[in-house]
Amino acid sequence: MSFQKDFLWCVGGAAAQQDGGYLDGGKGLNIWDALSDGRVKNGDVCHVACDHFHRWKEDLRLLKELGVNSYRFSISLARIYPEDEFTVNEEGVKFYMDLVAELDRLGIEPICTLYHWDLPLWLHERGGWKTSLAVEWFERFTKTIVDAISDKVKYWLTFNEPQIFVGHGYQIGEHAPFEKLSQKEIQNISRNVMLAHGKAVRNIHKYAKLPPKVGFASTCDMLLPVDGDEEKAYLATFDSTRNGVYTPSWWCDPMLSGKAPNGCEWLSEEDLKEIYEPLDFCAYNIYRADVAEGFDYRYTGNPFTTMEWTITPECMYYSAKFMYRRYGLPIMITENGMANTDFVYEDGKVHDPQRSEYLRTHIKNLKRAADEGIPVIGYSCWSFMDNFEWAEGYGKRFGLVYVDYRTQKRIIKDSAYTFRDIIKTNGDNL
């Protein structure tokens, strides 16, 4: 068996992490532009990042060299609505129209994320996700984007990792807007984000020109079976009292099945009806298996990536199995990859054998799930280029393409060629 014929082989990025041009083209500030000063490692800020806003054409050409047939990007919300809930920046809209037209010309399938954590500053200052203003505005924002680019875009993701932007942004205060709120407030924010998701999906269904395929990108903090007990790992993975807002089921149960998991009784039946709108696939980002009491697989000298994340390729197999069993939808891996100590060698290249092996073993485990009959429709490597890794700044490099931030020179890393070879055989060489 192989991956399906039209498998989506993708690389991804996000606006705040790679675009830069933070004051150009009529863009307004977002919470990362405005609030991260002094709160990000090494004093890094995302104002210039990879300067992709100015170099996007040459960057898209690199996609061809990587051999991918799909590209995941996110919309900078403050580029579209820079100053309030009504005023659209046409220049910003045009940027995305041009981008998807070029992808179309290159024969690369776009996957558009509507919200990848860069809340416009004006909205934050008026209460942001604590308010129904955000819910209503997000519905309008979605329509603006759908009207502009749905003649070229089929694949939509409403939110990226709500677990992290709500958990890190409002519960533990490590991500913008750096707040530490009560559980009650976290529940209110979660409900608002879920309601905004429901409204966005309905608007995509209503206004899209190409028949849309819609999902959202969850995290997947899954637990690996210990001593072969899969059932125990499955149940603990989806117990949302385990890790609250960070648990996949906190979000996926309402948004993918219209149900409230245990521990989320604060969602009413009425909320669930508003939140749930049938989705086409179950998308999630996965880098490693989670660790919990009774599910600690680590050992002395256990390998870590430079994010200090463990390396557990089996997480790909078990996550696909668990997510498919619970939600019954085709699986799309929207992020997987590793941060590595990448640097330019004397020969001018970037040799990163660890990443090659990471990708090979992780995709191989995903293929095992596909071989067992689980529908898997795509795999997106994170990330396309090195970029601004949120609170970690530029020190953590996830890219298949190396970026020298002093010159903005791009260098394709060795692992990108490994990935290209996997793509060429549609995974048959694994």
Sites of contact with ligand NOJ (CB under 6 A):
14, 17, 160-161, 285, 335, 382, 389, 398
Task: Please report how close the Cβ of residue 175 comes to ligand NOJ at its closest, in angstroms.
Answer: 10
Task: Please report how close the Cβ of residue 46 comes to ligand NOJ at its closest, in angstroms.
Answer: 11
Question: CB-based burial of residue 6 (10 Å sphere; 0-12 exposed, 13-18 middle, 19+ buried)?
Answer: exposed
Residue 174 a catalytic site member: no
Contact 158, 75 (CB under 8 A): no
Q: Which is nearer to ligand NOJ, 14 or 363 (CB)?
A: 14
Alpha carbon 5 to its chain centroid, in Å, reads 24
Residue identified by tokens 């990879």 is 50
Structure token pair of residue 244 = 């609250």
Instruction: Please choose, from the candidates 219, 77, 93, the residue with its C-alpha nearest in 3D space to the C-alpha of residue 138.
Output: 77
Q: How many CB atoms lie within 10 A of CB 146?
A: 23
Q: Which is nearer to ligand NOJ, 118 or 274 (CB)?
A: 118
Residue 389 a catalytic site member: no
One-character DSSP codes across 360-403: HHHHHHHHHHHHTT--EEEEEEE-SB----GGGGGGSB--SEEE
Q: Which is nearer to ligand NOJ, 152 or 168 (CB)?
A: 168
Exactly one of 109, 161, 277, 389 is catalytic; name it. Answer: 161
Q: Enumerate residues 6+ apart whose C-beta is below 8 A from 380.
A: 8, 10, 11, 12, 70, 72, 111, 332, 333, 334, 335, 336
Task: Please report how close the Cβ of residue 74 comes to ligand NOJ at its closest, in angstroms.
Answer: 9
Q: Which is nearer to ligand NOJ, 285 or 319 (CB)?
A: 285
Exactly one of 109, 274, 335, 389 is catalytic; name it. Answer: 335
Structure token pair of residue 363 = 């995709």
Task: Please report how close the Cβ of residue 145 comes to ligand NOJ at its closest, in angstroms.
Answer: 19
Q: Which is nearer to ligand NOJ, 160 or 340 (CB)?
A: 160
C-alpha to C-alpha distance for 263 and 266, rounded to whole angstroms: 8
One-character DSSP codes across 169-189: IIIS--STT-----HHHHHHH
Q: Which is nearer to ligand NOJ, 7 or 398 (CB)?
A: 398
Task: Please report how close the Cβ of residue 387 comes to ligand NOJ at its closest, in angstroms.
Answer: 7
Task: Please report how close the Cβ of residue 272 comes to ligand NOJ at its closest, in angstroms.
Answer: 26
Output the CA angle 257-260-264, nearest 5 degrees: 150
Return the active site residues: 161, 335
